[in-house]
Amino acid sequence: MTKNKDLFIHLSSVSEEQAGSVESQVCNLTDQISKLTYHLKLHSKDYSSQRGLWKILGKRKRILVHLHRKSPLRYEKLINQLSIRVPKTVKFL
């Protein structure tokens, strides 16, 4: 969890024009996912939080698919930095 947080801090120190970049959005969503996952380990029957987690996962997946189509090199770099799995919808050519 600290690895993601360190990366988030590093990306948040980027200039204002890059604050809304795909990388910063995915990093922010990954941080939220790790927090919600920890919360759900403690409160397994919190179905509202489960739904929120599913929505965040779907949003991150859509952003990653878009990034893979537009710039596969940036996509690979981001996946390796965050050490997250490749979404199943991403097909490598």
Q: What is the pTM assigned to this prediction?
A: 0.77
Q: Which residue has the tokens 């990366």?
A: 7
* Predicted local confidence at residue 93, as pLDDT: 47
Count of domains observed in the chain: 1
pLDDT exceeds 90 at position 17: no
The CATH number linked to 52 is: 1.10.287.10
The answer to whether 22 touches 74, Cβ cutoff 8 Å, is: yes
Domain containing residue 32: 2-82
Q: What is the DSSP string of the chain?
A: -HHHHHHHHHHHTS-GGGTTSHHHHHHHHHHHHHHHHHHHHH-TT-HHHHHHHHHHHHHHHHHHHHHHHH-HHHHHHHHHHHT-PPPTT----
- pLDDT band for 46, please (50, 70, 90 cuts): very high
Is the per-residue pLDDT at 12 higher than 70?
no
